Amino acid sequence: MKYLITGIRGFAGPHLANKIIEDGHEVVALLRAVTGQESDILDVVPEKNFSKIKFVFGDLSRYETLANIFKKNEIDGAFHLAAQSHPPTSFLDPIGTFDTNTIGTMNLAQAIKDNSPNTKLMFCSTSEVYGAPLEEKGPITEDFPISPINPYGVSKAAADLYIRNIAKAENLPFFVTRAFSHTGPRRGRIFSISDRAFEIVTIEKGMKKPLVRHGKLDAKRAIIDVRDCVNAYYLLMNKFKPGEAYNIGGDQVYTMGSILDKLLSFSKIEGEVTKEPAYDDPATYRPIDIPVQICDSTKARNLTGWKPKIQIDQTLNDLLNYWRMKIN
């Protein structure tokens, strides 16, 4: 089988490429241009896997470049992961976020419909489409109202609705995944858990004073490892029902404060660090934040047998070691 991945230079894409290749299939990866940055995925993709990736060129903002890919390649399935995925950035650039996440997704779907209508498409949506439902409502199922509270969530919700609609209206093999909080090696610094891990490693290396500035510590998340997350994507690709959405998330709920404490406990500086709220930094201490998100992923689990396998301690240790390697 041959699978296209958009967003290969992002967070989840390289981990998904490993999974596909190690299962004996081919990976075609979308790039806008050759910049040399594609080799950055060697952080988490072994050379033996990297050498098997076929890079193709196209731009989500230009339909014709995407159409050309499906004309020239027999793609069995496409994992659409590429996105502007940072909620605070979406407030600074809502139009750019919408162009990438919504219009780009529509272009990709149209390119498949016109040129390779049997190609399966997974659109990577987000739990942010649910907004901030009250905790007393219980775990979030796919039937919860779509009610995003930031431009990122709005852009993903629009694409989410479009993909599900066109799948049913045009009888296309498209589906949607809504991943809840996940982290691990290669997570960008603009995301809170990874940024705290980066800070801790710079303190370990004597590059900054022993002070960690943080966001809201009482926010709750059911966090899973990125490698578990992409395994769910992979399993769903061969089990999904067209036009359906599937939540992907963990069972164990953590406060962001407990995650920070765990990171410090796995470091070489536990007991030496002062913690301080970053009230003056809206990117860290968000003025609009989701206080709690608890996922119900029963639908995906019953369909595929998937469940998270990697423990949070391993995930956080691997994240710290990733930053130790990068900073070296």
Tokens of 290: 């989701």
CB of 270 closer than 8 Å to CB of 158: no
Which residues partner with 220 through β-bridges? 255, 292
Backbone φ and ψ of 21, nearest 5°: -65, -45
Q: What is the pLDDT of residues 25-76, one digit of tens each?
A: 999 999 987 777 778 899 999 999 999 999 999 999 999 999 999 999 999 9
Domains of the chain (ranges plus CATH)?
Answer: 2-184+224-249+294-308 (3.40.50.720)
Dihedral angle over CA of 34, 36, 38, 39, nearest 10: 150
Please tell me the distance from the alpha carbon of residue 176 to that of residue 161, in angstroms, as a whole number. 9
Q: How confident is the model at residue 221 (pLDDT cuts 50, 70, 90)?
A: confident
Q: What is the pLDDT of residues 89-130, one digit of tens each?
A: 999 999 999 999 999 999 999 999 999 999 999 999 999 999
CB of 128 closer than 8 Å to CB of 141: no
E-strand spans in 125-201?
Answer: 174-179, 182-183
Element (H, E) at 282: none
Backbone φ and ψ of 92, nearest 5°: -75, -30
This prediction's pTM: 0.94
What average pLDDT does the segment 194-198 reach?
A: 94
Q: How confident is the model at residue 2 (pLDDT cuts 50, 70, 90)?
A: very high
pLDDT of residue 287: 58
